[in-house]
Chains A and B, each alone.
Chain A
Amino acid sequence: MFIDEIAHRDDDARRALPLAPPGAAEEALAEAQRLRFYQTGTLTAGNRLLDPAERTVQASAERANAITCGHRACQGCGEALGARYVLDAAMRATGGKLVAVNATGCLEVFTTPYPETAWRLPWLHSLFGNAPAVATGVAAALRVRGVDARVVAQGGDGGTVDIGFGCLSGMFERNDDVLYVCYDNEAYMNTGVQRSSATPPAARTATTPAVGDAPGNPFGTGKDLPRLAMAHRIPYVATATVADLHDLERKTARAMGIRGARYLHVLVPCPLGWAHASHETIRVARLAVESGLFPLFEAEHGEVTRVTPIRRRVPTEAYLRPQGRFAHLFRPARDEARLARIQAIADANVRIYRLAPLDGLVPGEAAHA
């Protein structure tokens, strides 16, 4: 089948493919004959081989540079990369009429070292836990004043899944016209790598140290925020990573084409907190997807509408090994029991989201069941 080959194309019409409507096979074949990103340099840019219309926003000299150079992010910071792509894509989608609201966290701190700022769009930081509500207020003010501009709110996983969750849920249920972007690096990195409810099982953090009988973060804890966002039946929810920046830009542009509450959950590896080499950020993010631990999907009004299948599935170990936060799973001896539990989480994702050929399931079929 060719379906997995077109996995990374972003034509919305293809969403209907698994249900095989009339003419879908022909359309898909035509799709399959086009250039694939993995042919142009795997999942990274490869812009020179692409038609100008298909190139990333970042490839354009006209990009907004919403976060400009000179900020103080660490080498290899996934969040800085993700925010840059998201905001420039959103700036393009709104013709530069965009206001950003930021939760407290790394992104806020490293972009505004007093007396400088890296932001080239109107930007407001209020508190750690209130970015969604502040964004609601900005959107309300723009509407009442008749100003033609849109709002993006953003924060890390701590500001989103933990302390900001009440305000986020409120913004979702009111369906306020805000795109909220969570840059998820799976712990409180700004304060020195403490556990959040987005920290994965077994991960070592400063508050889940790799000592004792059950080193690292406990299994059976944590919350799945994209699913919680979907439970609010908001118009659009998507997951993305910094490994596929075309996909990240596309989802951002799609989100900005919709009115109402939208949620984008972006996995952004953190070399400091995950203890991987700073040049490994993209590869680690890709391995999170290819192992099945981080499913890429889109959902509209509470239903999954599109899933990005895994083209070449890798064992979860391939994702865990480059990261020092999981080192205790391999040294001094392999922790087979916990490694198996992590693999089981990935297997469940693959099954639930139908991410890859498994048990005869067709890859790419949305998890409607």
Chain B
Amino acid sequence: MLRQIEGSRAVAEAVARCRPGVVCAYPITPQTHIVEALAELVRTGALAPCEYVNVESEFAALSVAIGASAAGARAYTATASQGLLFMAEAVYNAAGLGLPIVMTIGNRAVGAPINIWNDHSDAMAMKDAGWIQLFADDNQEAADLHVQAFRIAEELSCPVMVNVDGFILTHAVERVDLPEQGDVDAFLPPFDPQQLLDVNEPVSMGAMVGPDAFMEVRYLAHLKQLRALELIPRIAGEFRERFGRAAGGLVRPYRTGGAATLVVALGSVNGTIAEVVDELRDEGVPVGSVSIGAFRPFPLDALAAALADARRVVVIEKNLAPGLGGALASNVRMALRAHPLPVHTVIAGLGGRSITRGSLRRVVLAAERGDLEDVHFLDLDWSAVHREVARWTERRRSGPVAENVLRDLSAARPPMSRVV
């Protein structure tokens, strides 16, 4: 059913069609519209039976989902940013217990400085928690990935995080073909848990495990991720057959044939990248791109195959690993270990900074010329950086960094456009 709809609403409608038994909600921007829409769907009876639990923190939200999943309900929650970090202990725990919870992340920067806009710092902070991490390129895919996510989670008994760029996708209104209930029911069978708190067959879950078995239990968590490498493309294929459109999968190559430079990225920025690829191809520049659909498990082989014929790789990275560069580029280099290529890390779009076609063109062309650094910060205002660094050397009590930079930028602007 085609609808002109906000991304968050589309995600909520898709989740509702997956018939979750328990939905836990705690507000955090920019994920809030998703749980608001689900509250309405539960209250109106459109989603029933379903227990909607308003909790007191994100830590509780995921903890409620853990209990609900262990007791046999399909469990769902959504969060972002500080919320994901506040529930970090439960994020690891849900994966360690092997509970097939699905959680949407409306990806957002992590403070300080506090910032509500989009980047991938939150998801990257949890990249090794043991969850499968899927990334949506657009709102159609955001909706569709949730239907696939429950299938993947429940087949493997492993939680799945669906990453949807905050504001850029969650708050964008565009055309979405919502999955029909009948199709979802045919695609996603009722939850049949691998482990269950059952009074007729009591089991202990979450027991203490010492050095004698901890390694094996952890390896089995790794094995689930390896199996997901097979399962994710299979589920995407089944989805395409039933719903008649492509969504999900491990990697999504775009015009890679004959490309000397390939741009790799996660999430919605792939739309902008594809436009830049089209422009540059029209101008005769041999570029293409690869969108990573699954960051965990990381598709080493699929990515290596997609990048095999390139001469260089530019990774557009919406996160910063201070002291190193970026998490995605590190993983891309791992994929290329048998076939080393120059991999440039471009840190871009942090805290919602726009990633424009012009800027992307500039870095891709610089890479073509061999002029791009290993780690490049896209559109960084170097004068603001230099002023603050100078302050550090001038006096010991230079003050809070963020406030200094804001004051400098404010002073540099013409008065009419001053925010403060």
Q: Which A residues form the contact surface with B (CB < 8 A)?
A: 96-99, 101-102, 108-109, 112-115, 117, 119-127, 129-130, 133-145, 147, 149, 166-167, 169-170, 173-174
Q: Complex formed: what's the CA distance from A99 to B199 in Å?
A: 7
B69 to chain A, nearest CB (A): 7
B207 contacts which of A101, A114, A134, A135 (Cβ < 8 Å)? A114
Add 11 more A-B contacts to A129-B89, A133-B63 (CB < 8 A): A97-B199, A109-B208, A126-B63, A126-B93, A135-B67, A136-B60, A137-B65, A137-B71, A138-B70, A147-B71, A170-B57
Contacts of A129 in B (CB 8 A): 59, 89
Q: Complex formed: what's the CA distance from A126 to B198 in Å?
A: 17
Contact A113/B206 with A127-B89, A166-B60 known, Cβ cut-off 8 Å: no
Query: Do A122 and B197 touch across chains, with their CB atoms under 8 A apart?
Result: yes
Contacts of B85 in A (CB 8 A): none
Q: Complex formed: what's the CA distance from A138 to B69 in Å?
A: 8
B202 contacts which of A112, A122, A144 (Cβ < 8 Å)? A122
- Is B34 on the interface with A (CB-CB < 8 A)? no
Q: Complex formed: what's the CA distance from A147 to B56 in Å?
A: 26
Q: Complex formed: what's the CA distance from A141 to B21 in Å?
A: 7
**CB-CB nearest in chain A for B64:** A137
A114 to chain B, nearest CB (A): 5
Contacts of B197 in A (CB 8 A): 99, 122-124, 138
Q: Mark B180-224, 1 if CB is under 8 A from A, else 0.
A: 000000000000000001110011111111101100000000000
**CB-CB nearest in chain A for B48:** A144
Contacts of B384 in A (CB 8 A): none
Contact A136/B53 with A124-B197, A130-B59 known, Cβ cut-off 8 Å: yes
- Is B38 on the interface with A (CB-CB < 8 A)? no
A207 to chain B, nearest CB (A): 22
Query: Do B56 and A169 touch across chains, with their CB atoms under 8 A apart?
Result: yes
Query: Do A126 and B206 touch across chains, with their CB atoms under 8 A apart?
Result: yes
A229 to chain B, nearest CB (A): 15
Contacts of A96 in B (CB 8 A): 199
Query: Do A134 and B199 touch across chains, with their CB atoms under 8 A apart?
Result: no
Q: Complex formed: what's the CA distance from A113 to B211 in Å?
A: 12
Q: Complex formed: what's the CA distance from A145 to B4 in Å?
A: 34
Inter-chain CB contacts under 8 Å: number: 160
Number of B residues whose C-beta is below 8 Å from A?
A: 43
Contacts of B21 in A (CB 8 A): 140-141, 144-145
Q: Complex formed: what's the CA distance from A122 to B73 in Å?
A: 15
Q: Which B residues form the contact surface with A (CB < 8 A)?
A: 21-22, 24, 49-51, 53-57, 59-60, 63-73, 75, 89-90, 93, 97, 197-199, 202-210, 212-213
Contacts of A137 in B (CB 8 A): 22, 24, 53, 63-71, 73, 75
Q: Complex formed: what's the CA distance from A119 to B93 in Å?
A: 21
Query: Do B205 and A145 touch across chains, with their CB atoms under 8 A apart?
Result: no
Query: Do A124 and B205 touch across chains, with their CB atoms under 8 A apart?
Result: yes
Contacts of B66 in A (CB 8 A): 126, 130, 134, 137
**CB-CB nearest in chain B for A99:** B197
Contact A138/B68 with A127-B89, A144-B73 known, Cβ cut-off 8 Å: yes
5 nearest CB pairs, A to B = A137-B67, A125-B206, A170-B56, A141-B71, A141-B73
Task: Please list 19 pairs of residues, one from A and one from B, whose beta carbons are closer than 8 Å in the complex, sorted by A's number.
Answer: A96-B199, A99-B71, A99-B197, A108-B208, A114-B207, A114-B209, A122-B197, A129-B59, A133-B59, A133-B64, A134-B66, A135-B67, A137-B53, A137-B64, A137-B66, A138-B67, A141-B68, A141-B72, A167-B59
Q: Complex formed: what's the CA distance from A52 to B299 in Å?
A: 67
Contacts of A120 in B (CB 8 A): 202
Query: Do A133 and B204 touch across chains, with their CB atoms under 8 A apart?
Result: no
Contact A115/B204 with A140-B51, A140-B73 known, Cβ cut-off 8 Å: no
Query: Do B53 and A140 touch across chains, with their CB atoms under 8 A apart?
Result: yes
Q: Complex formed: what's the CA distance from A342 to B97 in Å?
A: 45
Q: Complex formed: what's the CA distance from A149 to B56 in Å?
A: 25
Q: Complex formed: what's the CA distance from A193 to B54 in Å?
A: 35
Contacts of B49 in A (CB 8 A): 144
**CB-CB nearest in chain B for A146:** B49
Contacts of B210 in A (CB 8 A): 114
**CB-CB nearest in chain B for A124:** B205
B198 contacts which of A122, A125, A136, A170 (Cβ < 8 Å)? A122
A112 contacts which of B51, B59, B65, B207 (Cβ < 8 Å)? B207
Contacts of A170 in B (CB 8 A): 55-57, 60
Q: Complex formed: what's the CA distance from A21 to B69 in Å?
A: 51
A146 to chain B, nearest CB (A): 8
Q: Complex formed: what's the CA distance from A118 to B49 in Å?
A: 35
Query: Do B208 and A112 touch across chains, with their CB atoms under 8 A apart?
Result: yes
Which has the most chain A C-beta neighbours within 10 Å: B71, B198, B210? B71
Contact A130/B90 with A101-B67, A124-B197, A140-B73 known, Cβ cut-off 8 Å: yes
Contacts of A174 in B (CB 8 A): 53-54
Contacts of A141 in B (CB 8 A): 21-22, 51, 67-73, 75
Which has the most chain A C-beta neighbours within 10 Å: B67, B69, B208? B67
B196 to chain A, nearest CB (A): 8
Which has the most chain A C-beta neighbours within 10 Å: B57, B60, B70, B209? B60
Contact A144/B93 with A97-B199, A133-B64, A167-B59 known, Cβ cut-off 8 Å: no
Contacts of A97 in B (CB 8 A): 199
**CB-CB nearest in chain A for B217:** A114
Contacts of A142 in B (CB 8 A): 71
